[in-house]
Amino acid sequence: MNKKEKTRRRFLQYGAGLAGLAVGGIGTARGQTAESEAAQPKNLRSYGERSRFEKTARTFGDGSPNTFTPLQDLDGIITPSSLHYVFTRGITPMDIDPQQHRLLIHGMVERPLIFTMAELKRFPAVSRIHFIECVANTAPTRGRAEEERVQERFGKSSCSEWTGVLLSTVLKECGLQKGASWLLAESADRVTHSMSITMEKALDDAMLAYGQNGEAVRPDQGYPLRLLVPGWEGVRNVKWLKRIQVGDKPFMTHIEIGTNASLRKDGKARWFNIEMGPKSVITRPSGGQQLSGPGFHEITGLAWSGGGTIKRVEVTTDGGRTWKDANLPGPILPKAHTRFRFPWNWNGEEAVLQSRCTDERGAVQPSLLELAKIWGVEPSYFRKTENSVIHFNPIQPWKVNRDGSVKNAIWEV
Q: How far apart are CA 229 and CA 9, in angstroms?
A: 32
- Range with lowest mean pLDDT among 185-189, 297-301, 374-378: 374-378
The predicted model gives 218-238 an average pLDDT of 96
Whether residue 279 is predicted with pLDDT greater than 50 in this model: the reply is yes
- Answer yes or no: are the C-beta atoms of 159 and 336 closer than 8 Å: yes
12-21, 136-145, 337-346, 399-408 — which is least confidently predicted?
12-21
Across 55-68, b (16+ Cβ under 10 Å) vs e yields eeebeebeeebbbb
Per-residue pLDDT for 34 more than 70? no
Strand order, beta sheet including 182-187: 113-116, 102-107, 241-247, 182-187, 194-198
Neighbours of 351 (CB within 10 A): 20
According to DSSP H, which parts of 144-244 are helical? 150-154, 167-174, 199-202
Neighbours of 134 (CB within 10 A): 22
Query: What pLDDT is attached to residue 271?
Result: 53
Pairing of strands 94-95, 262-263: unpaired
Q: What is the pLDDT of residues 86-135, one digit of tens each?
A: 987 667 788 999 999 999 999 999 999 999 999 999 999 999 999 999 99
How many Cβ atoms from other residues are within 10 Å of residue 138's Cβ?
A: 25
Position 346 pLDDT exceeds 80: yes
pLDDT of residue 26: 31
Name the pTM for this structure: 0.86
Question: Residue 145 carries which side chain, given as an amino acid letter?
Answer: A
State the pLDDT confidence band at 268, using cuts at 50, 70 and 90.
low
Residue-wise pLDDT for 305-319, tens only, equals 999 999 999 999 999
pLDDT value at 27 more than 60: no
Residue scoring higher pLDDT (375 or 399): 399
Region 53-57 average pLDDT: 93
pLDDT for 28 beyond 50: no
Map out the domains of the chain with their CATH numbers. Answer: 3-22+56-247 (3.90.420.10), 279-408 (2.60.40.650)
Whether residue 29 has pLDDT greater than 60: no
Q: So what's the pLDDT on residue 58?
A: 93
Average of per-residue pLDDT values in the chain:
86
Q: Using 50, 70 and 90 to split pLDDT, how confident is the model at 32? A: very low
pLDDT class for 384, splitting at 50, 70, 90? confident
